[in-house]
């Protein structure tokens, strides 16, 4: 079974993740500087425009132009009898079925899904990497109920 991220879902996911991981902390830091110095208001505006503009431009490029034979596979999960393979922009992570330790949904920000791996590091990815229908099907397939479990 294979789950692939659509360009539209990838656009939404990138904006969500970048907002919590980059925009909020960086703009908070700049806002702190602004409160200490009145002349730094331009820095806040400039940082916001650069930060949001770059992330938005990259997300729009992938949404509009990532198609055809040169398409970059932004996110996919393949599940078969032997293993789970997660592919993020060409970086593949594999968990053998006998080492799969269940899955957990982290409710922090940004919200993530963690796949347990008894043979090394857990694999995590954004909760919104897949559409809600695909997430429901994936969680059903993996037996994901929000906590790690023996499988």
Higher pLDDT, 135 or 150: 135
Question: How many domains does the chain divide into?
Answer: 2
Domain that holds residue 110: 75-142
Residue 64 lies in a domain: yes
For residue 146, pLDDT beyond 60: no
pLDDT at 25: 73
pLDDT at 99: 92
Model-level pTM?
Answer: 0.70
For residue 79, pLDDT beyond 70: yes
pLDDT at 149: 43
List the one residue out of 63, 28, 33 whose CA is nearest residue 48.
28
Rounded to an integer, the average pLDDT of 106-127 is 86
**Same domain assignment for residues 60 and 27:** yes
**How many Cβ atoms are within 10 Å of 94's Cβ, its own excluded?**
14
Residues whose CB falls within 8 Å of the CB of residue 54, separated by 6 or more in sequence, listed in order: none
Residue 37 to residue 21: CA distance in whole angstroms: 25
The percent of residues in the chain predicted with pLDDT above 70, rounded, is 78
**Same domain assignment for residues 66 and 85:** no
List the one residue out of 107, 118, 128 whose CA is nearest residue 151.
118
Residue 151: band (very low, low, confident or very high) from pLDDT cuts 50, 70, 90: very low
pLDDT at 110: 82
Residue 36 to residue 118: CA distance in whole angstroms: 49
Rounded to an integer, the average pLDDT of 59-76 is 76
In tens, the pLDDT along 14-65 reads: 877 877 777 677 777 766 766 666 666 666 677 677 777 777 777 777 777 7
Q: Which of 47, 70, 93 is the last residue of a domain?
A: 70
List the one residue out of 26, 43, 16 whose CA is nearest residue 110.
16
């Amino acid at each position: 079974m294979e789950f692939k991220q659509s360009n539209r879902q990838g656009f939404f996911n990138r904006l969500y993740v970048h907002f919590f991981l980059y925009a909020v902390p960086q703009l908070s830091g700049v806002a702190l500087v602004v409160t200490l110095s009145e002349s730094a208001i331009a820095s806040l505006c400039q940082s916001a425009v650069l930060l949001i503009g770059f992330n938005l431009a990259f997300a729009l490029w992938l949404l509009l132009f990532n198609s055809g034979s040169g398409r970059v596979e932004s996110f996919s999960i393949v599940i078969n009898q032997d293993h789970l393979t997660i592919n993020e922009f060409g970086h593949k992570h594999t968990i053998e079925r006998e080492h799969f330790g269940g899955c957990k949904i982290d409710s922090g920000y940004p919200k993530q899904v963690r796949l347990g791996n008894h043979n090394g590091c857990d694999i995590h990815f954004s909760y919104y990497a897949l559409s809600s229908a695909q997430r429901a099907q994936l969680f059903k397939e993996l037996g994901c109920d929000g906590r790690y479990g023996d499988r």
